[in-house]
Amino acid sequence: MATAEFGKTVRRWRDRVSPEASGLPTGGKRRAAGLRREELAMLAGISVDYVTRLEQGRASHPSAQVVEALARALRLSVEERTHLFRLAGLAPPGPETIPTYITPSVQRLLDRLTGTPVAVYDASWTLLVANQPYAALMGDPSGWRGIQRNGVWRNFLGPAGRVLLTPEARRALEATLVADLRVAADHYPADQRLRRLVAELRAGSDRFAALWDAGAVGRHEAARKTIDHPHVGTLTLDCDVLTVEGSDLRVMVYTAEPGTREADRLALLTVLGTQALVG
């Protein structure tokens, strides 16, 4: 059970994080330099009401996923993250569970790539954080909750996305994703969230079950992707996946060759953000 100090600590640390540091707009009058509750809620992927209840001590059983999301949004150090878990009455995740902590160095990388679509996934391909250019390119993920944030689940059981794939390319992508997920399962056999993910995918998709039972292992890495964007049309981009040593974080980066139509459209998307074109 979370102590009363948990909510007070979240509030204190919220006050010290500037919206600029989190990539948020700073327009309008602000009573404090730190994040508003609704901003912390958006960054952590939880409701404003839940943040309020946590800070006021009216929610006493935050899950490990919620504490981890708050630690990311508040940009906590390793020691501060451990302290927040202890205040929540939880043991910090150990080596047997998939790491979801975004290191300060990775966070600095995200801060600098403000004009490049970037998303960070954990080893099970669950989305941890995405910047605004990524949201503009691929669709805003801020409303995704729980298993909806997992890329493997979205490919097999979720709604259609913006990436255009031939039947052959889709089959190849599915095989690669399953082989990559099996590597994660081998590395983290005690991770209960990963076990539930695999069980739901096996139950919901015959294609996934067949690929899983085939036992292939591998890595999902670089590719070229064609995205059908509702406002700027199609654009084909390089998609590179970088793995962070020691944490198994996957940093997905979309880029275009300078001087091309794709580069122009990507630049336009960065300016537009997630707003729709009008007129």
154 contacts: CB under 8 Å, gap ≥ 6: 148, 161
d(CA 229, CA 137): 7
Reduce the DSSP state of residue 224 to 3 states and report it: strand
Rg (CA), the chain: 19
CATH T-level topology, domain 104-272: Beta-Lactamase (3.30.450)
CB contact burial 74-110 (16+ within 10 A = b; e otherwise): bbbeeeebebbbbbbebebbeeebbbbbbeeebbebb
pLDDT string in tens for the chain (279-residue length)? 677 889 999 999 999 888 777 767 666 677 767 888 988 998 888 889 999 999 988 888 888 889 988 998 898 888 898 999 999 998 887 778 898 888 878 888 888 888 899 999 999 999 998 988 999 999 988 888 889 999 999 999 999 889 999 999 999 999 999 999 999 999 998 899 999 999 999 999 999 999 999 988 888 777 889 999 988 899 999 999 988 887 889 999 999 999 999 999 999 988 876 554 433
Q: Report pLDDT for 222.
A: 73
CB 251 within 8 A of CB 120: yes
CB 97 within 8 A of CB 103: no
Is the whole model's pTM more than 0.95, yes or no?
no
Cα end-to-end distance, the chain, whole Å: 52
Long-range contacts of 202-209 (CB under 8 A, 24+ apart): 204/156, 204/157, 205/156, 205/157, 207/156, 207/174, 208/152, 208/156, 208/174, 208/178
CB 231 within 8 A of CB 136: no
Reduce the DSSP state of residue 91 to 3 states and report it: coil
Please report, for residues 229, 256, 265, 267, the alpha-carbon distance to residue 259 in angstroms, rounded to integers and kept in the order given.
20, 9, 11, 11
Q: Parallel, antiparallel, or unpaired: how do β-strands 127-130 and 163-164 relate?
A: unpaired
d(CA 1, CA 201): 32
- Region of 62 on the Ramachandran plot (φ > 0 left; ψ -120 to 50 alpha; else beta): beta
264 contacts: CB under 8 Å, gap ≥ 6: none
Listed by start position, the domains of the chain span 4-87, 104-272
Q: Report pLDDT for 229.
A: 92
Q: Hey, what amino acid is at 185? A: A
d(CA 60, CA 130): 28
Reduce the DSSP state of residue 252 to 3 states and report it: strand
Q: Report pLDDT for 72.
A: 87
Residue 72, burial from CB neighbour count under 10 angstroms (0-12, 13-18, 19+): buried
CATH T-level topology, domain 4-87: 434 Repressor (Amino-terminal Domain) (1.10.260)
